[in-house]
Structure 1
Amino acid sequence: MRGLFRWSGKWWPGIIPLLILWGFAAWVSTAPLENDLSARSAAALKSAVLDRTKIAVDGRDVSLGAYAFSEEGRRDALALVAAVPGVRLVDDETRLVAEAKPFVWSAERDVVRVTLGGNAPLPAVKAKLSEAARSALKGVEVADQMALARGAPLRFEDAALLLIGQIGKLKDGKFTISDGDIALTGMARELGGRESLALALKDLPEGFKIASNEVKAPPYIFQAYKDPVAVTVTLSGSVPDENIHAVVVGAASRRFFNEKVVDNLKTSLGAPSGFVNAVVPALGALSRLSTGTLAVSDREIKLSGDALYDEAARQIQSGLAKDVPQGWQVKAEISVKPAAAPVDATVCQQLFSDLLGKARIRFETGRADIDRDSAGLLDRLVEIALRCPSANIEVAGHTDAEGEEAANQALSQKRAQAVVDYLVKAGLPADRFTAVGYGSTQPVASNDTGEGRAQNRRIDFLVR
């Protein structure tokens, strides 16, 4: 017996290597099986919509961890893995993606990037929104900070894509969806951007509405610069439409009789109420300056420059505020151009003739009321009269031959007197001027044509 025990003691240590070899063989044969089951389980889940999927295999048992976007999707994922040949048991470690209440999504733009935040309902939607932002704003960085959550309203994707398509209209700002409510904030990139944005969002998907729109428009700018050296008036900035464009350019062409009108205006939405009724009088005020700048920003008018004489400066400063619509602000900084050197009567007459050869004083049809378009011309006539302080001047009124002679003579007299009244109001002595009406007795062109009759309706200055 003792011999047998001694033999058994020698045998026992020899079985340990056998056990190790057996365990290694079992491991070697199991690892490929587990890897195969893991790969086939992952392939089976390709059609499933999951987030953060994890698959672990122990023998023929599969542990599935994932976040599903619905209870049905979660059950389907488990069934797909269970149906993989060779899988014996599926350990369910799946969860539902958290539900967002309210479901909030946002697109925010700053100077350098667009940030997509809040929640997206599915990974594919999340990727689609990011790609749409990159496509809409080529060259602009897109930061995807969206999380995944359940609870998106119906047609969320359509609403978010529509907003992303409009983000380029913002200089900076933010679009936010909260369930079905949409909030807009920021500054539009261009004039009319706010209105264009509102128009584009009129056809939101069903169930969505604009809860607030606080997108601001950039200042609506109109400018005019009178350059006495280049003898130009340059118009720049914006006008609301082509009709008002024509009105503004036409008003400038009538009032700036001696300057070339350079039209650099463009048509843009977003003009403040009363735009044309403010800009046209402001152009009239600018026409009375020897040099000057007009800047209109939203409902604020700034006019600066040199008037031709003291009374003109006072009239422009006090009169413009009365001429523009209520609610508009006027800031006028008007100085007076230094007086030109005196001239003798002969030079004075030549200056009057040259000036009235370029433009004619206009009156309302059939009346003696001076058209406001002629204010700049009248101020030039005042400036010349100031240069010949000792000269007596006859202001002669003429009409065409249409109508009765007596009526024409009376009208011409009244129009000549209206011009004298303007000169006197400007500060010139009344005893230097005589108003004479000649009716149609001194034509300078044929009364048989419209052009000829227009030339005959005139005011002449005669130095006596």
Structure 2
Amino acid sequence: MRLSKLIISLLAFGLAALLCLVVAYFSVRIIEDSSAAEVRKELDLAGLNWAEADSDGLQIFLAGTAPNEAARFDALSAAGRVVDAARVLDQMDVADTVKLASPRFSVEILRNDAGISLIGLVPASTDREALLERVRDVVEPGEKVSDLLEVAHFDTPEGWDNALRFGLRALEDLPRSKVSVGAGVVKITAMTDSEAMRRKMESDLARRAGDEVKLTLDLSAPRPVISPFTLRFLIEDGVARFDACSAGTEEGRDRILAAANAAGMEGKATCRIGLGIPSKTWPQAAEMAIGALAEIGGGNVTFSDADISLLAREGTEQAVFDRVVGELENALPPVFALTAVLPVPPEQGEQGPPEFVATLSPEGAVQMSGRVAGELERQTAESYAKARFGSGSVRMSARVAEGLPDTWSVRVLAGLEALAQLSNGAVTVRPDTVEITGDTGRQEASDTIAQLMAEKLGEGADFDLDITYLKKLDLSLGLPSPEECEAGIVEIIGDRKISFEPGASTFDSSAKDILDDIAELLRKCEDIPLEISGHTDSQGRESMNQQLSQERAQAVLDALRDRRVLTASYRAVGYGEERPVADNGSASGREANRRIEFRLIRPDPSEAAEGEGNEADAAAEQNEETQGDEQN
């Protein structure tokens, strides 16, 4: 009996324990589920939909991929607001961070009389100390260097080092400038001392930049003082042009050029902007005078400060001339004075008009012929020419003649003075005009000569200019002479050689560098007369060797043309085996004979002597004819 009561008691306790376990299990499940549900609800309310919440007992597990560390922290904080933070286990991942884009590296280098300032952002790889040391070498004593640079730890962009080196090199030549440097890009804004210096710096910087740096230039120069302030416009045989053009402002220049275009001028024309304009109404007066000349139909108009000379086309009707000139006189601003001339056709006789001719050769030799007014005038002209061109360079063959105009000697001396402004050319003095033709390396030479002639010849005088500017003659550009170019090619080649594949006109791999170096020099040499000659050894048939040498010379010419060298004055010639420089009996000799040579094309001495003889004969014949005319 007692045993059964004990069993019943044990069973009761066992059932009670089991019931407690069941109740506890389900209670825990309810707590787990409700905790996980509440956490998920809180995550959704916080906009963290990427996060997942699960439970294991009293612990809450957070899973998912957070877009960044901040989002992961927000998820932990949201779960901690629902359950004890100690119960939250972090099993979340963080997405890989997108690589930050490299910043735009740039440096602004400002230079003035106070010193140099550097402002901008540079890569950490830039040797900052070396950069500052380079800048300190540029400044003058007493000037300071201000370092306002920031550094960023990113990869150095392509072209940065080349652009920075170029910018610092340009800074040395530009004491008043702003140099903006970027990756492969340089922009330079600077003030130069003169127009000639501006042109030279533009040429030097562009050549130095090459293809590695994209260069933008904004160079300016002080406006020159123009005295006298000159403008000369012509309409001859239906062709309108400027011999000289000056303006005080860009707006005035545009008005003058627009009037010239309306008068029939085609193509581009230059008009110098400078100081010394005699009146603010200069553009207005120029427009009126150019329009009047166009209405007359031809002739020329010359401004020298406030004095205007208008020479009408020969054959213009008197009524038209009077009307146009009268309207122009009444319309011109008060400060301007007009002198207008309608030429009278000369009487035609058997003997032509008298002339004085002076020629200047490219070598500097001056030949004077024709007529002068007297022995004293001839000696004066010869002495003046020797003073300007050198005693050993002048040859006087002009003769004394009577009946020349009173202004003849003044015209002769003015013509010689104008000739001195040219590199080569000729001056022809006639009773009614002075003609000046030639080449020059100075862009302002035409303006200078026009000013000179207007001042020396006076109002109403007629003169004609045909001046050509050639870059190769411009000393301010620092271009090498043809002889220097020829010597430079020899120096560049040195002990190297332009080689080809055997029996072909195809370059081998070693030819590229030497062709690049030669092309870089020849781009500075402009249009020099150059022969590219190909040579072979004596192996093989002579005709095949000649053809191969021609093809190789032509291949070099084409390669230079592909490298943007102006080759219009070049010629490619194949000489085959006819000009050996070594013995073809040895391998080394044959190798030396297979070559490409560069040489200037010079006139044949015999042809030059023959040409001089023909010119002398022609001059003698003309002199005899002139004397015969006088005797007749």
Q: TM-score normalised to the size of structure 1?
A: 0.30
Which is bigger in relative contact order (C-alpha 8 A, separation at least 6)?
Answer: 1
The answer to which structure has the higher strand fraction is: 1
Q: TM-score normalised to the size of structure 2?
A: 0.24
